[in-house]
Structure 1
Amino acid sequence: MKPLISLPGITDRGRRAFRMTPVQDDPVSLRVNGDLVDLEDLSANGVAFLSEHELKSGCYDAQLNFTLGERDFTIYCKVDLIRTLTGSYGGELQDMSTMDERLLSRFILECQKHAILRQREE
């Protein structure tokens, strides 16, 4: 039997992967329904973002662009909006290939490494 681990003050918010908050040094952008949005946080299976365009709950075309190493990558997928507040949205990434999921996870890991290095320099 696996042990049950619970951390006080931490509630399950439904995301099954680590979230990272992009900073200006992180080479990543998101388009939803063709419009560039302000990415608030990103995980291997979800996003939170701000948009000037009003969006309703539902599924939208999404495009994630990021740089990993020296290569630029683009992932075309869907985002299923599950949280919509005026201008602020959260959703699950869908319709990604296994390779896209791996690339996105690697990118997030690289951003985490850079964040740790930035903290050490402070």
Structure 2
Amino acid sequence: MSEFSSFVDAGTDRGAYRVVPDPDDPVILQLDGVLARVLDISATGFSCVAQHVQENMRYAVTLDLPTEPGVIKVFGDVNKVSDDGIVTCQFIGLREDDQELLHRYVLKRQKAAINAIKSSRSF
């Protein structure tokens, strides 16, 4: 998956457009108080690398989006933990204004992906 990859998640409970954070300007995630690397994010959830959580459990989530002010504090339900520590998590009780911040972040990443594709085709 490239730096600008994004996709619609039709195979899990998220069913939302996901984007990969910019590696040079990452989403800062704390899952149950522990920093974790975000692999992709949408307005309804995220996947990350974490070894300390269990499936079907609810954890405190703190997100700092690089393009948006403030910090999002919410709960996340862990849907799946793969053998290699990839966690899929769904937001629970997300406030409407925080969901709007996530929508804006996803839209900005989508635009960056489109611009990257356009500029790579112009050569």
The equivalent position to 2:78 in structure 1, one of 76, 81, 98, is 81
Please list the CA deviations of residues 62-97 of structure 1 after superposition, one character each: whole Å capped at 9, or x if unmatched: 0110133xx532100011001012311101011211
Matched, 1:96 2:94: yes
1:6-17 paired onto structure 2 within 5 Å: 12-17=11-16
CA pair 34-11 structure 1, distance change in 2 beyond 3 A: closer
Q: Which residue of 2 aligns with 1:7?
A: none
Do residues 37 (structure 1) and 45 (structure 2) align? Answer: no
Q: Structure 1 94/115 Cα, relative in aligned 2: closer, same or farther at 3 Å?
A: same
Instruction: Give % identity.
Output: 26
Cα distance in 1, alignment partners of residues 75 and 89 from structure 2: 9
Q: Are residue 107 (structure 1) and residue 105 (structure 2) matched?
A: yes
User: Given residue 120 of structure 1, which amino acid in structure 2 is its aligned partner?
Assistant: K
The 1:59/1:11 distance shift into structure 2, 3 A limit, reads closer
Contact 1:67/1:73 (<8 A) preserved: no
Q: Which moved more, 1:109-118 or 1:14-23?
A: 14-23
Aligned residues: 110
Deviation digits for residues 5-51 of structure 1, max 9, x if unmatched?
xxxxx954322311111231444221101111111111100111112
Q: Pick from 58, 63, 69: which aligns with 1:72?
A: 69
SS in 2 for 1:24: coil
- Return the alpha-carbon distance in structure 2 between the equivalents of residues 37 and 21 of structure 1: 14
For the residue of structure 2 that corresponds to 1:73, the secondary structure is: coil
Q: Which has the larger Rg?
A: 1
